Structure 1
Amino acid sequence: MSLHFTPLVIIFTILSTAFAALLSQMALAVFNDGVRPFLLDFYRGELKRPQMTAIAFGLSAGFIFGLGVPIAFSSGVLNPWVLFLPSDILGILSPKKWLAPILGALWGAIVVFGLGAATTAANSLPVNFLTAMQQMSNPILYLFAFFPAVAIAMQFGRWRGAIAFVLGLLVMLATMKWIPVMFPGALTMASGVVLLVIFAVAEEIKMARATRLQAAAERAKRQSADNEAATAEEGGTATVATAIEEDTNSSIDEETSSIFAANAARLKKYAPFFVIMGVLLGVLVNTHMFAGGEATSYIIAKGQYANAAQVDFYRALGFIPLIVTTAIASGAFQVVGFTLIYPAAYLLPNPILAGIAGGLLFGIEVFVLSYIAKWLGTLRTVRDASDNIRNAINLTLEVAILFGSIAAANAMAGGVGIAVVGGLYALNEVLGRPVVRMAAGPVGVILAGIAFNLLAYIHLFTPIAVK
């Protein structure tokens, strides 16, 4: 396998990483959700640039080299971890605004030209570990389909989770038998998400009814208390204490609301910047050489764009609440917006329409941030569901990537490969995870591949054929 990028992909990859680095330098947007909460202090000057750079690098390095690069190598499709996590770091690192897009553009050029050269070099090695890493695709594609069942179990208990899992399995088997042209994981995910929505709506109705009953009980209790006699001194003291508490809570709420309003206003002020980012990203996604997720990288590589759109739409359901709340709290947006540009641009017929759609989507998203934040504040079940979706996605991907890494190790070096990669994974665990768990498997495959090649050159290891 080799990576070859068209001129359109090369140009818009470089432009996208350049502009993303500029947004990062201005503390307007980053890709890493873990970095975003620190940007308000960075913007205010409470965190210095070297400190902020160290935070961004520490939270991103494992995902760049352990997830983004291996997924790009094994699928042949670019992803946001390999493009935008480094642009986060380079933008924050840049002391001058003009320097950030230059560094971002350089990184984009390194990716599009370097990945191609690296795959060409890997194909000439005695142990082609990059080809072996294509074995990661099936575990990621099929296990990822069951994340809704895991999310349901997290939020609504083991029995409902088991029902969702069995239903998903039946849907997958039925799809494989009667609709073989469709990726079976797509309908499996759809059935799980529908079930999750049903359970969430039922829970929201139940909670609303309980809230109404509790409010009625409190009103009755207050009326009863008002009818009871109390001494003037005790009544006065209680009234003063209550007033002080109410004033304190009101002041805190007003201060928080003021910060949130200022952050939302700042993002709206720079809406044209986000529109430009949306245009660039829309075109890049529409080339089908860039995908928004781990699973969709492999689905796009297979040319199944409708299935990829479905998968990334479900993923967005879990991340939009997080993006909204962190954006309002920090004054920094997600560099890929609500991620809705992925499913839209996959399906649009040409890059021009995709660019227009991306610009419109990003512009609208910036202006509705505060409204969505207020709406989320009233729907506890929705917030919980989105948190559980995110956690379920991470959990299923950790398992899938580990299984895929073991499969790649087996394809690369048989039982010895499994022993080395599995051993490195276990060692990473006991050492306190210097490499994040999700990236530990792919990093182990790469390290093992390098080691086996060195051993092959000194005739201590005989390569096996990688299918």
Structure 2
Amino acid sequence: MSSTALAASTGLDFSLAQQLTVVALCALTAFLAHLALAVFNDGVRPFLLDFVQGRTTRSATTAVSFGLSAGFIFGLGAPMALASGVLNPWLLFLPTDILGLLAPKKWLAPLLGGAWGGVVVFGLRGANNLAHGLPVDFLTALQQMATPILFLFTLFPVLAITKQFGKLLGGLAGVVELALVVLTMKVWPDVFAGAPAMAVGVLLLIGFAVARDVRQRRAAERAVAGTVSPTGEDAPVVTAGRPPKNVDPMASLFGASAARLRRHLPLFMVLGAGICLLSQLHVFGGGEATSFLVAKGQYAEAAQVDFYRSLGFIPLIATTALASGAYGIVGFTLVYPIGYLLPSPWPALVCGALVFAAEVLALSWIGKALGRLPSVRDSSEHLRGAIGDTLHLAILFGSLLAAHAMGSGLGILIAGGLYLLNEATGRVVVRMAAAPAAVVVTGIVLNVLHWLGLFTPIKT
């Protein structure tokens, strides 16, 4: 049995400390969502400003949260947890977004969130055992997603460089990453081969972006210098309107939101401590790729992957937090890699609290910095898009492999047909979650066909 399969078969059996951590953290995140201080879903966060200012109702905001989250919960979060044996943020925190916003009373929100945490830690093991006991074991088949996700995810810096800086630099980055993957597999076989390649790819992207910003700033300075005559008087050149140096539009726009978040700094520090602790317990992975790496016990590689991933989301989380007055439940996700690497729970609690405090206090500064580094800001957007593109292909390919493992051609026909039907009907289930959901449905259909005597399970 592979290490991934072993992790999945023995995972989801939580100790008392792990159970209490999950329940308490779900209660806290639901409470923060109720107060509109933080949510996990980046798409929901912009709607919270209208809710805070009384321009929309709690029920309407809850409906938005449910509509944007349900597909990820049942199509991605639950299948990924069952396949890897490791919890993930879509399974834990998207439901607490909904439950916290739904709760009409402040005291009810943590009760509902804690109840969901209890469902996860006590119910998931039973669902896991039930699914593994079926004639067609679709959870074991779902582990086929691990390899495509881990290796195709390696390419996201290449895609980002290509989109932002063109085919030449993108091709160069691709060659460098491929060489590093081959070298790592040959020289360091115990290291996840994609980790060094991703590191170099992200560094190349940041280097290209910083170089472009420096060139553009120097060009702008030369242009401004050219508008002043040698005598110190303005030359007769008309320049675009520039705001006075003392006016900071970012501060005036985002100041109130940043101040609102700072007023609740103790709550955010507790939140950071809890998320870092959960990561340190190694029952939680912050992303699709890291779930399988954590399941394999490759914590250093998981930390690398989640750190690189965070670079694509920091600008999004910072700007939406400053615009809406609501932070991300997992902050900038920097507590994930820190938690994976720490040796014991107590340092995780301290580090998580300090990291979240630093993030909240630095929000205004980050907003200003992003305004001065447009290429770096654009790089983050391209990174985020590239992550989505690579994961979509990886999850789709891995899901088809899982369907093939369950039912050969018939499995591919059913799972692929469900995926295409979802596309044709306007994506009732979000694209990222559609393929894993199709695999689960395919597994159920194949079991029904087996019970009807119409299908013989494939022996693996």
Considering only aligned residues, what root-mean-square deviation do their CA atoms show, in Å?
1.9
Match of 1:106 in 2: 115
- How big is the shift at 1:257? 4.0
Distance 1:226 1:419 in 2: 67
Select the residue among 402, 409, 419 that pairs with 1:425: 419
Correspondence 1:313 to 2:304: no
Q: Secondary structure of 2:236's match?
A: helix
Match of 1:451 in 2: 445
Gap regions ≥5 residues in structure 1: 228-241
TM-score normalised per structure 2: 0.94
Q: Within 5 Å, which residues of 2 pair with 1:127-142? A: 127-142=136-151
Correspondence 1:365 to 2:359: yes
Q: 1:49 is aligned with what amino acid?
A: R
Q: Within 5 Å, which residues of 2 pair with 1:274-423? A: 274-423=268-417
Select the residue among 258, 268, 281 that pairs with 2:262: 268
- Kept in 1, the 8 Å contact 2:227–2:236? The answer is no
Q: Within 5 Å, which residues of 2 pair with 1:55-204? A: 55-204=64-213
Q: 2:134 is aligned with what amino acid?
A: L
Q: 1:371 is aligned with what amino acid?
A: W
Q: Secondary structure of 1:27's match?
A: coil
Select the residue among 222, 236, 245 that pairs with 1:225: 236
Distance 1:258 1:23 in 2: 25
Structure that is richer in helix per residue: 1
Instruction: Work out the number of aligned pairs and report it.
Output: 446
Which sits farther off after the overlay, 209-218 or 40-49? 209-218
- How big is the shift at 1:363? 1.2
- How big is the shift at 1:458? 0.9
- How big is the shift at 1:47? 1.1
Distance 1:381 1:186 in 2: 25
Distance 1:190 1:261 in 2: 34
Q: Secondary structure of 2:427's match?
A: coil
CA deviation profile, 1:166-203 (whole Å, cap 9, x unmatched)? 11111101110111011101011012112112211221
Q: 1:263 is aligned with what amino acid?
A: S
- Kept in 1, the 8 Å contact 2:250–2:367? The answer is no
Distance 2:223 2:398 in 1: 50
CA deviation profile, 1:399-458 (whole Å, cap 9, x unmatched)? 000011001001110111111111111111111111111111001101111111111111
Q: Secondary structure of 1:139's match?
A: helix
The structure whose Rg is larger is: 1
Q: 1:385 is aligned with what amino acid?
A: S
Q: Secondary structure of 1:225's match?
A: coil
* Identical-pair percentage: 54
- How big is the shift at 1:56? 0.3
CA deviation profile, 1:262-319 (whole Å, cap 9, x unmatched)? 1111100000000111111121111100111110000000101111111111011111
Distance 1:450 1:155 in 2: 43
- How big is the shift at 1:205? 1.8
CA deviation profile, 1:201-257 (whole Å, cap 9, x unmatched)? 22122211221233234456x944389xxxxxxxxxxxxxx9xx99xx89xx88874
TM-score normalised per structure 1: 0.92
Match of 1:44 in 2: 53
Distance 2:368 2:301 in 1: 32
CA deviation profile, 1:143-185 (whole Å, cap 9, x unmatched)? 0011100110011011111111111111101110111011101
Distance 1:203 1:399 in 2: 30
Instruction: Give the 3 Å change call, closer, same or farther, for CA 144–226 of structure 1 in structure 2.
Output: closer
Instruction: Give the 3 Å change call, closer, same or farther, for CA 157–219 of structure 1 in structure 2.
Output: same
Q: 1:422 is aligned with what amino acid?
A: G
